[in-house]
């Protein structure tokens, strides 16, 4: 199995040289701002934990999977010990408020570290990642009793958590969910229904599991307007934090999946289980989106981590594997053949991986920075503007990053050829596990509809236009720059076309709503390519400054050449996407059911 080395230099480059996160942290209110030394120390600790603890469990957990017997789920060997070490090191409380025993660090710190953990064991990361999302939703909308009862256990690691949305008859369309909530005399509710695809709905690695469940009250309106949110613990929690009787919630089965074999995806049955209403009745879907949007950024990071792991494995193999001679003459005259990294076809695969992973890292961490500002900005205007920008970026992070990550892990298999297709080198596991990233928390198609329909059309283009204006001003400022001037001029043309495409689709959709759906995925991908081009311009300038300050020449030159590759070989994909968008929906919608 390919070794993984935490990309600390690359993460620090984005965090410090590009985004200036440790200068950004003191502007936030309500968090503890880490300085650069502390940030780097936490990165190093996270990288070491990922390399030494999580990575060795990745293959073994995939081999053994989870054991289900009589409603009980046993996780793979070593998972409990890894979680215990994670808890002992204080990681569960990294971004949690101090009043609950947390460290109150900005969320972008955790997201930066999360990439390395996702790269080395994404099924395990789900086990420890879900509680923070649950806390975000309850912190925003729950009452004081709920926080005092459940937060201490989530922060100190005694409890894990889930979010329970999907049902056997409905996935993304939560408006038709059937789980019921019956009010009780003591103010609690009895929750009855079945939820499926619940990650870590049952397991043996925590004392308790806190389920966040969507259900309907008896008098609820139909559709999404009638959904409420409830806290349903596996074991009842007493005021002194001791655990009581088992609640009426059980695991009926676990799914057999393409990947993530070490993560139990559970069928959860609620049989008049005791639950507690979070916030107001019928507001549950809105509340759940606090957690869902955080999970969507997490899905993007999972894809990014796996793509980087695949790149590392492919690059190491390409440097060592001898096969054929270079078309331009021997590069390894003392050997029987040249290493495959000299061949243009292999270099194209590797550079595509490099350009996507490094560009997407900048996009994801910048989205995390906006998340910090949206939650902890110094005043309401800053929080509102950041929330608006984050809302626009989220479907792109979830949709585009996971799609190109799947391309990257596929390229990793291809670089290794037959050795990539067998289990020995671990590349096929990366590909299987990455595949679900485009499905989790709303498929790419759902993200595309969200971007085009909600974040652009319903928003009347405000967020998009603000983004375009910012990028255009940057490009105008640098259009005569020696290194990036030509790229900046090219990007200005793409911005104009991006804006025109949005207008054309919007006009077509007013006549036929299916036009928006027909264009949405290609439009999301177009958006991602344009944004990554902007980040590559900024990465290039940051590398130029780093080189001027005696930074590592190979590191900086690698950024310059990856940017050139991106503009020469990847950004032109927008031409085909634009043609597809402008082709309209007639070729999709003209086919009858019988003609498929």
Max distance between CA atoms of the chain, in angstroms, equals: 84
Residues 294, 28: Cα–Cα separation, whole Å: 19
Phi, psi values for residue 249, rounded to 5°: -135, 135
Q: What is the pLDDT of residues 134-148, one digit of tens each?
A: 999 999 999 999 999
DSSP label of 590:
T
| pLDDT score of 239 | 94
Give me the residues of the chain with pLDDT under 50, please. none
Q: Which residues of 557-583 are buried (b: 16+ CB within 10 A; e: fewer)?
A: eebbebbbbbbeebbeebeebbebbee
Can you tell me which residue has the tokens 């070989």? 569
The pair of three-digit structure tokens given for residue 359, joined into one six-digit string:
């560009």
507 within some domain: yes
135 within some domain: no
Cross-strand bridge partners of residue 67:
74
Look up 441 and say whether it is catalytic: yes
| pLDDT score of 121 | 98
Q: How many domains does the chain have?
A: 1
CA distances in angstroms from 277 to 234, 434, 560, 575, 592, listed in the order given: 16, 35, 53, 50, 45
453 within some domain: yes
149 within some domain: no
Residues 526, 167: Cα–Cα separation, whole Å: 33
Angle, CA 295 vertex, CA 290 and CA 297 arms, to 5°:
105
List 167, 202, 358, 441, catalytic entry: 441
| pLDDT score of 1 | 67
462 within some domain: yes
The pair of three-digit structure tokens given for residue 15, joined into one six-digit string:
């965090």
120 within some domain: no
DSSP symbols for 128-153: HHHHHHHHHHHHHH--HHHHHHHHHH
Q: Is 257 exposed, middle or buried (0-12, 13-18, 19+ CB in 10 A)?
A: middle
The pair of three-digit structure tokens given for residue 200, joined into one six-digit string:
């870590």
Q: What is the 3-state secondary structure (H, E, C) of 75-103?
A: CCCCHHHHHHHHHHCCHHHCCCCHHHCCC
Residues 401, 307: Cα–Cα separation, whole Å: 10
Residues 172, 177: Cα–Cα separation, whole Å: 10
CA dihedral 123, 129, 133, 134 (to 10 degrees): 90
Residue 61 and residue 53 in contact, taking contact as beta carbons nearer than 8 Å = no
178 within some domain: no
Domain that holds residue 576: 445-585
Cross-strand bridge partners of residue 215:
228
Phi, psi values for residue 277, rounded to 5°: -65, 130
Can you tell me which residue has the tokens 């293959």? 59
202 within some domain: no
Query: Which of 394, 432, 427, 436 lies closest to 527 in space, CA to CA?
Result: 394
DSSP symbols for 161-226: EEEE--BTTBSS-GGG---EEEE-TTS-EEEEEEEEEEETSS-SSSSEEEEEEEEB-TTPPSGGGG
State pTM to two decimals.
0.96
| pLDDT score of 104 | 95
Q: What is the 3-state secondary structure (H, E, C) of 471-500?
A: HHHHHHHCCCCCCCHHHHHHHHHHHHHHHH
């Amino acid at each position: 199995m390919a070794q993984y080395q935490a990309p600390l230099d690359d993460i620090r480059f984005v965090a410090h040289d590009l985004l200036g996160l440790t200068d950004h942290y003191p502007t936030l209110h309500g968090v503890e701002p880490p300085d650069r030394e502390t940030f780097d120390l936490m990165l190093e600790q996270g990288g070491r934990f990922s390399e030494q603890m999580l990575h060795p469990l990745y293959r073994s957990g995939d081999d053994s999977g989870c054991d289900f017997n009589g409603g009980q789920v046993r996780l793979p060997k070593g998972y409990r010990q890894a979680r215990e070490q994670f808890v002992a090191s204080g990681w569960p409380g990294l971004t949690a408020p101090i009043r609950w025993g947390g460290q109150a660090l900005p969320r972008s710190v955790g997201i930066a570290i999360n990439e390395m953990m996702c790269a080395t064991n994404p099924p395990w990361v789900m086990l420890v990642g879900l509680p923070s999302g649950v806390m975000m939703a309850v912190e925003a909308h729950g009452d004081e009793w709920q926080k005092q009862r459940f937060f201490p256990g989530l922060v100190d690691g005694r409890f894990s958590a889930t979010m329970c949305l999907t049902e056997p008859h409905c996935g993304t369309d939560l408006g038709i969910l059937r789980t019921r909530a019956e009010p009780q005399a003591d103010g609690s509710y009895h929750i009855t229904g079945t939820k499926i695809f619940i990650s870590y709905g049952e397991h043996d690695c925590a004392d308790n599991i806190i389920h966040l469940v969507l259900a309907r009250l008896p008098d609820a309106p139909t559709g999404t307007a009638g959904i409420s949110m409830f806290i349903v613990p596996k074991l009842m929690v007493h005021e002194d934090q001791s655990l009581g009787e088992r609640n009426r919630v059980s695991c009926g089965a676990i799914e057999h999946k393409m990947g993530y074999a070490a993560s139990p995806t559970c069928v959860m049955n609620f049989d008049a289980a005791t639950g507690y209403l979070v916030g107001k009745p019928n507001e549950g879907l809105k509340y759940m989106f606090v957690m869902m949007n955080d999970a969507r950024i997490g899905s993007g990071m999972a894809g990014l981590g796996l793509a980087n792991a695949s790149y590392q494995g492919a690059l190491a193999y390409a440097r060592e594997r001898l096969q054929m001679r270079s078309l331009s003459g021997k590069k390894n005259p003392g050997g029987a053949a040249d290493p495959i990294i000299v061949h243009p076809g292999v270099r194209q695969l590797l550079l595509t991986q490099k350009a996507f992973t490094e560009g997407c890292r900048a996009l994801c961490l910048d989205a995390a920075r906006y998340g910090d500002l949206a939650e902890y900005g110094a005043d309401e205007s800053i929080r509102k503007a950041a929330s608006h920008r984050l809302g626009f970026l989220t479907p792109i992070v979830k949709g585009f990053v996971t799609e190109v990550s799947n391309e990257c892990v596929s390229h990793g298999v291809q670089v290794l050829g037959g050795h990539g297709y067998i289990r020995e080198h671990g590349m096929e596991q990366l590909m299987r596990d990455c595949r679900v990233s485009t499905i989790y928390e709303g498929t790419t198609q759902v993200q595309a509809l969200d971007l085009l329909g909600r974040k652009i059309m319903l928003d009347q283009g405000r967020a998009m236009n603000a983004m375009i204006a910012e990028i255009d001003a940057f490009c105008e400022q640098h259009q005569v720059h020696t290194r990036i001037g030509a790229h900046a001029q090219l990007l200005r043309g793409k911005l104009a076309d991006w804006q025109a495409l949005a207008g054309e689709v919007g006009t077509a959709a007013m006549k036929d709503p299916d036009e928006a759906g027909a264009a949405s995925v290609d439009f999301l991908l177009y958006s991602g390519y344009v944004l990554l081009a902007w980040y590559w311009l900024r990465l290039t300038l940051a590398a130029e400054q780093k080189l001027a300050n005696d930074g590592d020449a190979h590191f900086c030159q690698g950024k310059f050449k990856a940017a050139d590759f991106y503009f020469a070989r990847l950004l032109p994909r927008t031409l085909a996407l634009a043609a597809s968008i402008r082709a309209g929906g007639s070729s999709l919608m003209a086919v009858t059911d019988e003609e498929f």
